[in-house]
Structure 1
Amino acid sequence: MEYFELNDGNKMPAVGFGTYKLTDPEETPNTVDAAISAGYRLIDTARVYTNEALVGKGIKQNGIPRDQLFVTSKVWISDNGYDKTKQAIDSSLEKLQLDYLDLYLIHQPYGDNYGSWRAMEEAQAAGKIKSLGVSNFPDYQITDLAQFNKVKPAINQIEINPWNQEKATVDYLKSYGIQPEAWAPFAQGYDHIFTNPTLSQIAESHGKGVGQVMLRWLFQRGIVSIAKSAKPARIKENVDVFDFNLSDDEMKQISELDRKEGVSADHTDPKTVLRLSKYTTNLNGLD
């Protein structure tokens, strides 16, 4: 496994395993166990995914030493604010059966983020969280949060894939000392991305799968990626991306696929704010 160093000095695995929509009581622990056995060291979950207890069971089932694992969870909109976030952190730790989280994120850029951030800073000082970050924050909002608080976000987890490359945002985050992290690195399979001629040709030339090429492309851009699969073969394939290199020309070819279109809703659209504000933690996850 390769690692990126965060602005707080902690090291984060470059490729992670996502658990969004993994909620089957029997399948989820076994899938998390299999991912760790395949070589994943970054496990990503969230309070709104309603699977933290199952993810924790899978971690415990595997038996990996705690210091070899990097676990992320997130606070949802309905728990934003100082008091609720404090409770949400403790709840996540209890469900995951962990003494600390390696990374904790504000999941969406809405609500009382300043109150949540103060609770997160206190939890970090108490040893409950190693690194603090955010998800789906636009550049101006993450800058605002960073400039007026003691602790600067270490991560911004956003949608990044060949269809939606977020070049300007990635460059800005890096210049500002914040690590970009990609969710939906495969664009959720949208518009036949796995059979795209450019990606398929590059994959064939390296004897790799198209998914591996996309994850390698992100790694070479200095971006952490979170990929999800419940299939054992695909789980193993998605973590096996460190034994080949994409050439400058291949990176350029993939760069030219950018449509600047995400597969998720626009998080700056007021309609998205209204829609997501209706989701609470007793519902299945939504990104």
Structure 2
Amino acid sequence: MTVNDSPWPEGVPAWADITVPDLAAAQRFYGGLLGWEFTQGRPETGGYVTASVDGRRVAGLLPADGAAADAPAAWCVYLGVEDVTLTTGHAVAAGAQLLAGPMTVLGLGDIAVLADPAGAVFGLWQSGTHTGWDVTDVPGAFVWAEQMSQQPDLSRRFYVDLFGYEATDMSAPDFTYTSLAVGGTPAVGVGGYGAGVGADVPAAWTWYVAVTDAEDAARRVPEVGGTVVSGPEDTPYGRLVLAQGPAGEVVALLEQAPPEVVA
């Protein structure tokens, strides 16, 4: 478990949120599946809801309105930055498309939302009074994030150049993947879709949320309004379930492997 009340380092995932057409359905799904508790924001936040685990912030949800109500729902992963305007400028110069911002959100922080050169949407978060999630690596909280695309080399170069990550190639036959670290600690991954994934599948960021029991999580997903896409299946990092929420958004659920015991 990592508890944090300070700004997350540059390039480290700091927050995730989602805009959904049916906020009540999303709360039933994530509350029932992950035990999230929900706090309604001030009226000027547009109905933004903060999800918590044991009183510690883990994610945000926002009800869609207007044209956004018809847009596909997807989680947006925000990477920590010290200067959102500066990093946004570097990202756009490197081929990213600016979708929103940079802008200040009620003194909570400054954000920008972009599509990287491969087309995956991600956010930048410069902390204000809101420093991002308060806890990670516990059931119901963030544990990992990765960008997958048909162009992993392009994506790796973009993010390494933008954040100065230390890159470790973890590729294997028919599998392309790079772990990107900050100060020696793995922060995010960038990989390529496998041969079984259609060429029309768009690039995307996925965040992983820790669960206590992958089998139990897979059983409960349809009970609370979601769909199991794949799993549970074993990975080097634990048992993984890929699920869709009630709005069709993808979320990865990971029962983490126990730490190795060194004799």
TM-score (norm 2): 0.36
TM-score (norm 1): 0.34
If each structure's strand is expressed as a fraction of its own residues, which one has the higher value?
2
With a CA cutoff of 8 Å and minimum separation of 6, indicate the structure with the bigger relative contact order: 1
